[in-house]
Amino acid sequence: LALIEGGGFATAFSSGLAAETMLFLTLLPREDIIIPDEVYGGTLRLLKSVFAPYNINFSQTDFSSEEKIRSSIKPSTKYFFIEALTNPSLIPIDLSLIEKISKETNIPFIADMTFCPPCTMRAFSYNAYAIIHSLSKYISGHNDVLGGAIITKNKELHEKLSFLQRTLGAVLAPDECYRTIQGIKTLQMRWKHVSKTALVASNFLSQHDKISRVLYPGLQTYKGHEIAKKQMQNGYGGVLSFEIDPKIGLGNLKAFVDSVQSRGVINYGESLAAPQTLLAYPYTMSHGSLSESDKESLGITPYFFRLSVGFESPRDIIKDLERGLSAL
């Protein structure tokens, strides 16, 4: 992992959230971090429910605005913690901007690169302090690993993380290590395939009259496309999000889900970057722990879905989506 990311040290943990937990523990007894308005729901729950009572505080801001980032900085700010592509709206964060602010303020940034593995982007090229991955996703790539990792060039941080890993027992199991190493060997090949398929699916959905919006950094019409184009290589990944037109009515969504997964290749469930295509429902899955107002502010409506395409033929995936949408 350190080799493919271009960093000096890597520590593997029993899950992605375990890796985040170890990272946030290094902030004790009291430090603050700044995170984007939109992050993985599990990260937000961890910070709010576990670390806030121990005075590890966080603030959220719009990372597309230099002014808003700078105005969020406090004397106690220790890190910026970002996702290279936010979950689930897939908004690319401009790492050149974050690098500039980090250098000028002497506040390091840590990048969650789960949605952007090293075959498409390397955060160390932008002088990231550390990189975090959920190994369960693109890195291992076969939906059979539960793991996380932190890669850093800072020896002191690595030693702290290694101590916490051993002391708290958040160690990645040997068989998970083996499957992760095997998955890395096919990472670039898998990435290129799902990137092509996701673009096909995005174009199909963006032209459908029952879809109100499609979020995918590979679409030229997407607001974050130019940043993604500048930062990402070999494609834009296999994950896209879309919203069914609210005029359809909530009562019809079950018919869509049931029809999509009834006899095709799409499976209804959480996670991403699996061999099989997965249709997720962030409203109750990845971001289910958020308040209704927080979901609304992020655009995570009851009509919002996330699609992670797998290794199947694009034609078969489109066929399933067509069948589901025709049920509405």
Nearest to 323 by CA among 259, 265, 243: 259
Q: What Å distances lie between residue 290 and 88, 296, 302, CA to CA? A: 13, 10, 13
Tokens of 70: 């700078």
Q: What is the pLDDT of residue 298?
A: 85
3-state secondary structure of 7: coil
- Note the helical H segments in the chain: 2-5, 16-25, 41-45, 66-72, 95-105, 155-168, 174-184, 187-206, 225-231, 253-260, 292-298, 314-326
Q: d(Cα 197, Cα 100) in Å, to the nearest integer? A: 34
Beta bridge partners of 266: 277
Identify whether the C-beta of residue 210 lies closer than 8 Å to the C-beta of residue 169.
no
- Residue 108 buriedness (CB in 10 A; 0-12 / 13-18 / 19+): middle
Q: What is the pLDDT of residue 288?
A: 85
- What averages of pLDDT result for each successive group of 10 residues across the chain (328 residues)? 94 98 90 94 93 92 97 96 95 98 98 98 98 98 98 97 98 98 98 98 98 98 95 98 96 93 91 97 89 87 97 97 96
In tens, the pLDDT along 229-245 reads 999 999 999 999 999 99
Q: d(Cα 77, Cα 31) in Å, to the nearest integer? A: 6
Q: d(Cα 98, Cα 320) in Å, to the nearest integer? A: 40
DSSP string, 191-251: HHHHHHHHHHHHHHHHT-TTEEEEE-TTSTTSTTHHHHHHH--S---SEEEEEE-GGG-GG
Identify whether the C-beta of residue 172 lies closer than 8 Å to the C-beta of residue 12.
yes
Tokens of 68: 């808003």
Q: What is the pLDDT of residue 29?
A: 78
Q: What Å distances lie between residue 110 and 24, 113, 157, 200, 319, CA to CA? A: 11, 9, 12, 32, 40
Nearest to 27 by CA among 82, 102, 77, 101: 77
Q: For residue 327, give every residue at least 6 positions away whose Cβ sits within 8 Å of its Cβ, in sequence order, or none.
A: 252, 255, 256, 258, 259
3-state secondary structure of 72: helix
φ, ψ for residue 53, nearest 5 deg: -65, -20
Q: What is the pLDDT of residue 289?
A: 80
C-beta atoms surrounding 169 within 10 Å = 9
Q: What is the pLDDT of residue 314?
A: 97
Q: What is the pLDDT of residue 182?
A: 98
Q: What is the pLDDT of residue 92?
A: 97
User: Percent of the chain, pLDDT > 90?
Assistant: 90
Q: What is the pLDDT of residue 7?
A: 82
In order of their start, the domains of the chain are 2-184 (3.40.640.10), 187-326 (3.90.1150.10)
